[in-house]
Structure 1
Amino acid sequence: MYDYIKGQVTRVTPEYVVLEQQGIGYQLFTPNPFAFQRSEEETQVFTYLHVREDAQQLMGFPNLAQRELFRKLILVSGIGPKGALAILASGEPTHVIKAIEREDESFLVKFPGVGKKTARQMILDLKGKLNDLIDIEQLEFEDDEPSLFTEHDTVHEMEEAMLALTALGYSEKELSKIRPKLKANNELTTTDEFMKKSLQLLFSGK
């Protein structure tokens, strides 16, 4: 129904963003809301309308590769929209695709809600069917941009990232293991940076 929407990001929460277009605020559930920033500039968001008996939810993605992989993932038995968003939270579709192609169950089970049975089902259903997604142009995020401020109280940004990860299905036990490392990292200043580093730590098991 909707392929993409262009508008202004007027609100960012741990679960969704609001994109305003012609006076209408669209609530978009997205893998990492903090990949977006409130701005008066126009932002293009690729969308997917998920319809069920009791609700309609509009999903939003910063690039086409994420949206297309989401559509593939929700076809797998055992993976719903929330689970698919959690898998995409790292923002790297190619990592998921390569893990499926390599039949790397140990990587896939690190996602919240994905056990061995679901990981095997992902491989069975999707292996050999995702290579076309690798060629889709992806939006690149700069990880090495210099900090805008030399000193910054980042407690709020870190807690926002923790709330977003909780919404994706990560447990407090898992998050408590990485909190000390996040607090000790002075290079992290934005919620998006905390999200990316958190996911990196969660996946490395360190």
Structure 2
Amino acid sequence: MPDTLLSRAMNDTLDQPLLLLPDRVAELLSELGSPPRLAAHLRAVHDVAHQLIDWVERHSPTVVFDREAVLFGAATHDVGKTVHLDELSGPGSAHEEAGQALLIGHGISPELARFAATHASWRDARVGLEDLLVSLADKIWKNRRVPDLEDLVVARLAETTGRAAWEEFLALDGILTRIGDTADERLAFQASFPIHG
């Protein structure tokens, strides 16, 4: 039964379909015996990350970033919760370093594994735009607005495009509002899967 629930979390077609996780991630989650709710969460954040980067590419074509890294990071950012199950339903940050180590232990490059650790440390000046986009997707999937995080994204976009920060803010606010408007469907999808298989 748990394998069926995990498979459903990764593959179910919905009224508002979510993009499927990359095959490499789906295989890893199956191998790790991921809780179905975690797989559903990763799928929702991955889908939102897709929407965000599609918007960045349309809105700011001069912005250079690694699209595939953002998508992989969004799809794996909470993988450490396969080890720290209590953090699926409560607060905690032990999953961050554990997730990075877990990914590296499964042959994922440190460059891609870093998102498991950086998705919650977006205030660190060393994080790049890719890290900020993963962090933003992890917030806005449930319509949580974090002004400090959004300001960092706006500043990075304005630096590259040469547009005024207020222009970048208005544009970003528009896409985040549109994505946030469909949060209830994603939250319902995630909640329809159990924490424990």
Higher Rg: 1
The structure with the greater share of residues assigned to helix is 2
Is the structural similarity TM-score above 0.5? no
The structure with the greater share of residues assigned to strand is 1
TM-score (norm 2): 0.29
TM-score (norm 1): 0.28
